[in-house]
Structures are given as structure tokens and as C-alpha cells.
Structure 1
Amino acid sequence: MSSRDDTDDLRRPFRHTGSWYKMGSRQSSVMDSSVQSLREGSVSVLFCVLIVALGPIQFGFTCGYSSPTQEQIIRDLNLTISEFSIFGSLSNVGAMVGALTSGQLSEFMGRKGSLMIAAIPNILGWLAISFANDSSFLFMGRLLEGFGVGIISYVVPVYIAEIAPQNMRGGLGSVNQLSITIGIMLVYLLGLFVNWETLAVLGALPCIILIPGLFFIPESPRWLAKMGMTEEFETSLQVLRGFDMDIVVEANEIKRSVASTSKRVTVRLADLKRKRYWFPLMVGIGLLMLQQLSGINGVLFYSSIIFQSAGISSSNVATFGLGAIQVIATGIATWLVDRSGRRLLLIISSSSMTGNVPEDSHLYSDLGIISVVGLVTMVIGFSLGLGPIPWVIMSEILPINIKGLAGSVATLANWLCSFLITMTANLLLTWSSGGTFTVYAVVSAFTVAFAAIWVPETKGRTLEEIQSSFR
């Protein structure tokens, strides 16, 4: 008896250990499966983001095109400076028209459908510019480009926000601004080697690739849920999260959010007095206006003047270098935004731009290298927060039942401010460079206060949690 008990006692730990080992193996296989599924989901979302990022690359190409081509176009088409200035600003006019239609278009046609529609006028616009023999084709092409860019500037950040997991949404959302800066850098680089006609043809390539690429990515699951396409919604979400992932909790949360906001289809003007509507509207529109009122586009448009006055012989090469710096700084912001949070980066970014005020009251010719350093500091500061984050926050906080209309208004406000800054920057710089930077610095200082007091931190929260917090 004693011997058998002893034998049994010796065996029990081994039996227990064997059982524990088998159980541990099962747990390990489940964990491995979950990790693999998470990886599949991340790869799927990343692929979708890379496809739609072709739109913002096109956006950046449009913004930067006038800089390396100004002398060639004026010479070849016998344009005056004022005619070329009209050409440069017409993209803003077209973008304002595109912005007006972007929200409603994306609600009726879906995020993918509206991007496909936006790509067509972009391609036609670039081809019109490349074959232009006079100002009429040039102007028509620029308007068509701008119209497409106005739609892209709203739809891409919304699509990314609606497909991204909450822990990746900030970084993936910042890819929008990163792609814009890559587009600007590319047009500066290619402008060193090719003429303006060839550069226009190259400008059409991102959208030419975007159209077939859209057939390989799913539609936004939140838009599908809003439209009542339950089966398509669940399929889209499953593809985005990985086929082995349990999507029940997230799917139910999205369905509840859509159901609660769809009880009343239209929002009356009186409803905008409620905090759940006016607060996100104020934050989204305010940030997109302040982004442009910081003066960044006006200063970048005339950056070649700064480099020339500083004694830099090849201003085009220096401008490309500035574009490369902007890409690197925006890439850092993309990495930081889900780690440090949106609001902190906004405050740091705006604070760095606030201190950038030259003391000289004359034009850049008297500022030399100080102006170059100031410009680089301003671009880095802008790229770290005020460039990418307003688009991220706008796409996160607008309630789903007013997102189309409110998004259009916010995007329109952004383009209107961009137009005003671009048109007035040269006049202000001629009046006083120090005074101009002082005006921009005051706006940046207000942005610091705006971010600290009113901008909510959205890091680590689902879109449904963010939007329900305003109720």
C-alpha cells in the first residue's frame, strides 16, 4: 500500500505537469492565432491606407507644382506674373467647390466611390495642363485639379479614421499629411529634371494608380452600417480586422452608434445649440482654420525668395531640401501621435511657431540666413502637429449623422483660409516681414490656448466613445 501510494505520488506531478503542458500548448496556439490575426488585420488596414494615400500625394503634387515651373510656363506661354498668380490660386478656388460637395458626395456614393469620382477631374486637369498652348487650358486644368483635391482632402482622413483600429488611428490618420508632404517633395525633386509639360503628365500618375487600387480595398464599415448594408458591413470589418478575429463587440458598438444617430435623419438648425453638435463643430472647423491662418502656405509659396535673398544660388535645390525636412518632421509626428497624444503635439507644434518672429521690419533681403533658419523652424514646428493633427481630429469627433455636412463646411473653411493667406502673404511680406511673422505668431499663440482649453484628447478611444462623450 505504501509502495503504491508512493508510486502514485510520484506519478501525480508528472500527470499534472503533462496536463498543464497540454493546456499551455492550447493557450499558446490560441495566442499565436490571435497574434497572427492581428497581424493580418494590421496588414489589411495598412494596405488600404497606402492605396488611398495616393490621393494626398496628388494633393501635394498640386500644391507644389507652381514653384518649380513658374519661369518655364511664363516663358513658354507668354504669361504675365499676374496671370501665373491666377493660375496658382485657381486650385484653391476649385478645391473650395470640391469641398462643398465632398461631404454629401461621400455620404451618397461612399468613401471609395467619392475618391474614384475625385480622381477623374484630377487626371483630366493634369492632361489639360500638359497640352496647354495658352492660359485657357492652363486655368481649366488647374480648376479641375483643385476640384478633385477638395474632395480628396475631406474623404481620405475620414476613410482612414473609419477603418483604423483605435490604437493605430492617430498614426495612420497622420499618413494623410505625410503623403501631402511627399507629393510636394516629389514635385520639387522632379522639377529639377523635367519640363513643366512632362511634370504635369507625371502628376496624373497617382490618381491613375488610385482608380484600380480602390477595387482591391473594402468600403468603410461605418458607412456601410449607416446605409443599412449589414452583410457588407460585417464582411468589410472582418477583412479589416483579420478573418480569425472576433468582431462581435466592435460590430455591435458601431451598430448601436449608428442606430442612435439615425433616429432623426436630418439635424435642424436649432439642434446645433446642443453641445453634442456645436462643440465638435467648433473644434473641427476652428483647428482647420487655424492650420491655414498660421501662414504656413503663404510662407512656403515664397520660400524661394528667402533662399535667393540669403545668397543661396540654387533656390530650387534648397526648396527640395525644405520639402525633405517637412517629410521627415511629419514622419516623426506620425510615429508620435498615438504615443504622446493629439493635444500635446498640437501645443508643442504651435508653441514652436509662436516664437518664430524676425525683428527686422524690411523684406527678406535684409534678413539673410536668419530668415532661412526661421522658415525651417516654422516648417518643422508645423509638421510636428498643426499640419497632420487637425485633419485627424476632424475625422474623429464629428457625429456620424452630421459628418457629411459638417465635414464639407470644415474643409471649405480650410481652403478659404488657404486662399486668403496665399493671396495676402506677398503683400504682407512687402509691407513688413517682421510684421507678417508677428501676425502669424499671434495666430499660433491663440492656437496654443485653443488646443489647451477646447481640444479633447482622442488617443486610445473608439470613434463611438469620442462622439458619445459630447452627448
Structure 2
Amino acid sequence: MTYGFFQKFKVPEGSAFFQYIATLTGCLGVISGAMHFGWPSPSLPLLLSKNSTISVTTQDGSWLASMPCIGAASGSLLTAYMVDKIGRKTCMLMTAPAYLLAWLMVAFAGTIWELYAARFISGWADGLVFTAFPMYLGEIASYDIRGLLGSSIQLSMITGMLIINIIGSYMSIMDTALISAALPPIFFATFWFMPDSPYYLVMKGKIDEATKSLQFLRQTKDVSNELGRVFDAVKDEREQTGKISDLFTISSNRKATIIVFGLRAIQQFSGTTIITFYAQSIFHEASGDMSPTTATLIYFTLQLVCALASSFLVDKVGRKPLLIISIIGSGVALSLEGTYFFLSNNTTLDVSSLKVVPLVALLGYVVIFNLGMGVIPVLFLGEMFPTGVKAFALCLADIWFGIIVTLVSKFFQIMQDDFGISVPFFAFAGCCGLGLIFIVALVPETKGKTLEDIQMELKGVKKDNAENNTTAA
């Protein structure tokens, strides 16, 4: 039991302190992945410059940016089959050597192919992280803070991209990579001492270890009721076949798949990735003397603050209200953005007095989107699926995310080239309208519900509200 020495720290009975510690240390792995993912933003301009020691074309740059998505698919597929065999924690720990190797390869790369390989390796590790960690958080968290802990994934992604933009904007590619290489060993050294998921331990028949894990995470000796629920849930799920086809043939799993995959598609077709790509140009249009570096730092800092606010609101206000508010506000902001660009590029109207509009719309979009749509779809990854098929579901969700991002990027490029930049913004606003209908009609409220309660609701089984006030993993 690697976390035994933590017992010397005295915390109040029933405290969630060690749940927060487990989340914080695990998030270091997510931050490592996010730093790799965001690395092209400050580094590609240096690689494309005349002073670069590596010959890189703009086409090479696009492949460097997308290579982690290719690697993530292989990592997700591996994790889908390994996470129930070696555990969520072990899958997470496997990413540290991969992230470290990738940074060292970036630091000392002499050819574009070495950079490709480094980006692929980091993407492979991303596949492990974004399949194993949502499972881990959903299974260790008490029902009353599961939203806060689950939303830490998106928060960590934004944090990592902000950090790499800060470091990369002021240092060389080698120095940036070497500094970033310090984080994976720190993640490994700290997360090593955290317990594995009680669900996984029960699945492997390690009941004593599962008991100790729950006692450590809940800081209480009597965990018999919760352990019994975990045991019953795992037993019920073992009676199912546990195949990838169960996601589509079993009604409750099919509902969860539609909800999670639908929200991820709506999230991307609401324009978040494209807004990120064009943040610098929009900032520049509103304020010509603002440097790209300053614009990027403002953008990611604002994202971070709003995502942090959402992580505290999600267990108080609820998932569904935040999603509804977020999708409506995003639609309004995108409509304003599209209207400005349409008047500026397609009419003879003088819009010089309105140049602040794209900036206000952008800032408004960042705030309102990250209060709900930016965080909650990722949170649902760890909440909506039963243990028996969760690995398959998260694997497919990661691959689905890469496909959707690619489709949205291509859609934006075609629409902008053929019809002007205003058209995709209007299209994204229209997708927000469709997303609102989807959320109101299909998305359930999971606030204050145990993982078992959520599964019962998906199966159409009614349960007394009073029973929702029990503790759950």
C-alpha cells in the first residue's frame, strides 16, 4: 500500500483532503500532455523562421500540430484493453516516461522526423491519460465533489497550454523542452503514492485493498455501505458481456453514448477550437498594437479563470443549467462575431467605430463557453458509463474527439475560403441552437447522484430522492 505513509498526516474525520491530493497529483499528468499539445503555438514560428536549425515547411508545421491526435488513437486503444487489467493508476504512471522521452527528443531533435516521432509519442501518452484519468476521478470521488474533481481535467488542459505559451514565448525550443521535461518525473513521483480506484480493486478481487483505498480517500473507518454498493455494481456489470458492442446494444449504455458523444460534437461545433486558432487575429483587429504573445496569454488566462469558476459551480448550480446558459451565451457571441465580419467584409458600411465588437464578443464567448460547455462534456466522461464498458467508451470518445476536431477545422477552412469568414461563425451559432435542443431534451442532471444512481436513471429505474444523499465513489 504505497500511500500508507500519508496516514501520519492528521485530517478531520470524513475529510475529502486526500481526494483532492489524488486529483492534484494526477492532474500533473494532464498538464504534461496539455503542454505537449500546446507546444506548436510558441514553437512553430521559431521553426518556420530563417534562423531555424531544422528545415520546416508550413505543411510540416500542420503535421506537427496534428501528430498527437494520430498518436492518441493508438494510446486510447491500448488503454481500453489495459485499464481493467493493470489498473487506472498504472496506466497513468506509464505516461510519465513517454512524456519525458518526448520532451528530450524535442530538445535535441536535428530533423523534422525526430519532431514527428516526439509528437506521436506524446499523443500516445495522451490516449492513456484521457482514457484512464476520467475513469479514475469518477471512481474515487464522493458524489458531492465529483463535479469539482472531474472538471479539473479541462482546467489542467488550459493550465498546461498557458504554461507552455509563457515558457515558449520567452525561451528557445531546447530550453522550453528541457524545462518542461521536469514535470513528468514530478508527476510520477507524487502520483505513485496515490491509491488505485476502489472499483478496479474490487474487480480484481482485492477487497482488503479496496477497503483501505476507500478508508484513505474518505478518511473514515466505516466504509462498509459504500464498499457494498461498489461490490454490487461490479457484480452486476460482470453479468453483462463487457464488450465494445454493449455500448450500442444495451439501452442504458446507448443513451450514455448518445449523450456523451453528442455533447463532445456540440462542444466542437460551437467553434471553440476555431476561436482559439483565430484569437490572435481578432485581438489584433480590435487593438492593433497588441502583440500576439500578449493576446495569447490574455486568452488562456481568461479561459483558466472561467474554467476554475465552473469547477466550483458545477456541484452547486448543476450540470444542465450551466450547459443551457453556456450554449445560449455562446450562440449570441458567435452571432455577434459573424455579424461584424459580414458587415466588414461584405458591405460598404463603415465599421471602424465597431472594431471593439469582435473583441467583446470573443471575451464574452470565452467566459460563457468555459462556464459550461468547455468543462462539463469532459466531466460526463467519468460519470455516464458503467465500469464494465467505461474503458471502451472513453477510448472511442477520445478517437471521436479527434475526428470531430478535424472535421470542424476542415469545415471552417472550406467555408472561409468559399464564402467568407462570417459564414462559419453563423454556422457555429446555428449549431449552438441545435445543441440547446439536444441538451434540454436528452441530457440528464447528475448533480448529487452516485454513479449507481446515474446508471439506474439511464435504465429508467426510479429511485427515491432521499437515497441520493448517500456517499458514493
TM-score class normalised by the smaller sequence: 0.7 to 0.9
Query: What pairs up with 1:67-86 in 2 under 5 angstroms?
Result: 67-75=41-49, 76=52, 77-86=54-63
Post-superposition CA distance 1:57-88 (Å, at most 9, x none): 12321232111122211121231112111111
Post-superposition CA distance 1:323-354 (Å, at most 9, x none): 10000000100110000101111111111111
Post-superposition CA distance 1:14-68 (Å, at most 9, x none): xxxxxxxxxxxxxxxxxxxx992122xx111111000001122123212321111
Aligned-partner Cα distance in 2 for 1:145–1:345 = 32
Aligned-partner Cα distance in 2 for 1:335–1:144 = 34
Quick one: which amino acid aligns to residue 395 of structure 1?
G
Determine the structure 2 residue equivalent to 1:234: 211
Determine the structure 2 residue equivalent to 1:434: 422
Aligned-partner Cα distance in 1 for 2:76–2:183 = 20
Contact 2:384–2:455 (Cα < 8 Å) also in 1: yes
- Does residue 46 (structure 1) correspond to residue 20 (structure 2)? The answer is yes
- Does residue 404 (structure 1) correspond to residue 417 (structure 2)? The answer is no
Post-superposition CA distance 1:372-410 (Å, at most 9, x none): 222222222221111111111121110211111122111
Determine the structure 2 residue equivalent to 1:256: 232
Post-superposition CA distance 1:151-186 (Å, at most 9, x none): 212222221111111000001111111111111111
Contact 1:289–1:414 (Cα < 8 Å) also in 2: yes
Post-superposition CA distance 1:262-300 (Å, at most 9, x none): 123434847833322211111122212222222211221
Aligned-partner Cα distance in 2 for 1:268–1:138 = 34
Identify unmatched segments of 5+ residues in structure 1.
1-33
- Does residue 460 (structure 1) correspond to residue 444 (structure 2)? The answer is no
- Cα 1:194–1:83 change in 2 (3 A) is same
CA RMSD, aligned part only? 2.2
Aligned-partner Cα distance in 2 for 1:328–1:117 = 30
In proportion to residue count, which structure has more helix? 1
Contact 1:130–1:197 (Cα < 8 Å) also in 2: yes
Tell me whether 141-150 or 196-205 shows the greater mean CA deviation: 196-205
Give the SS at the match of 1:469: helix
- Does residue 63 (structure 1) correspond to residue 37 (structure 2)? The answer is yes
Aligned-partner Cα distance in 1 for 2:432–2:84 = 34
Aligned-partner Cα distance in 2 for 1:373–1:96 = 37
Determine the structure 2 residue equivalent to 1:37: 13
- Cα 1:291–1:204 change in 2 (3 A) is farther
Aligned-partner Cα distance in 1 for 2:95–2:374 = 22
Quick one: which amino acid aligns to residue 282 of structure 2?
I
Give the superposition deviation at 1:430: 4.0
Quick one: which amino acid aligns to residue 47 of structure 2?
I
Give the SS at the match of 2:274: helix
Identify unmatched segments of 5+ residues in structure 2.
1-9, 460-473
Contact 1:363–1:430 (Cα < 8 Å) also in 2: no
Query: What pairs up with 1:370-389 in 2 under 5 angstroms?
Result: 370-389=357-376
Give the SS at the match of 2:142: coil
Determine the structure 2 residue equivalent to 1:28: none
Give the SS at the match of 2:428: helix
Quick one: which amino acid aligns to residue 357 of structure 2?
I
TM-score, length basis structure 1: 0.87
Quick one: which amino acid aligns to residue 375 of structure 2?
P
Determine the structure 2 residue equivalent to 1:26: none
- Cα 1:428–1:200 change in 2 (3 A) is farther
Determine the structure 1 residue equivalent to 2:7: none
- Does residue 318 (structure 1) correspond to residue 295 (structure 2)? The answer is yes
Aligned-partner Cα distance in 1 for 2:242–2:406 = 31
Give the SS at the match of 1:219: coil
Aligned-partner Cα distance in 1 for 2:440–2:233 = 28
Post-superposition CA distance 1:122-173 (Å, at most 9, x none): 2211211111122111111111111111221222222111111100000111
Which of 325, 335, 341 is 2:312 aligned to? Answer: 335
Give the SS at the match of 1:397: coil
Aligned-partner Cα distance in 1 for 2:456–2:168 = 48
Contact 1:188–1:320 (Cα < 8 Å) also in 2: yes
- Cα 1:134–1:306 change in 2 (3 A) is farther
- Cα 1:199–1:246 change in 2 (3 A) is same
Which of 179, 185, 208 is 1:202 aligned to? Answer: 179
| Greater C-alpha radius of gyration | 1
Quick one: which amino acid aligns to residue 394 of structure 2?
G
Give the SS at the match of 1:277: helix
Aligned-partner Cα distance in 2 for 1:66–1:428 = 24
Aligned-partner Cα distance in 2 for 1:409–1:211 = 26
Determine the structure 2 residue equivalent to 1:280: 256
Aligned-partner Cα distance in 1 for 2:237–2:188 = 32
Aligned-partner Cα distance in 2 for 1:107–1:428 = 43
Query: What pairs up with 1:119-268 in 2 under 5 angstroms?
Result: 119-242=96-219, 244-267=220-243
- Cα 1:202–1:423 change in 2 (3 A) is farther
What is the percentage of aligned positions where both structures have the same residue? 27
Query: What pairs up with 1:351-362 in 2 under 5 angstroms?
Result: 351-355=328-332, 356-357=334-335, 358-359=338-339, 360-361=341-342
Give the SS at the match of 1:386: coil
Aligned-partner Cα distance in 1 for 2:189–2:208 = 24
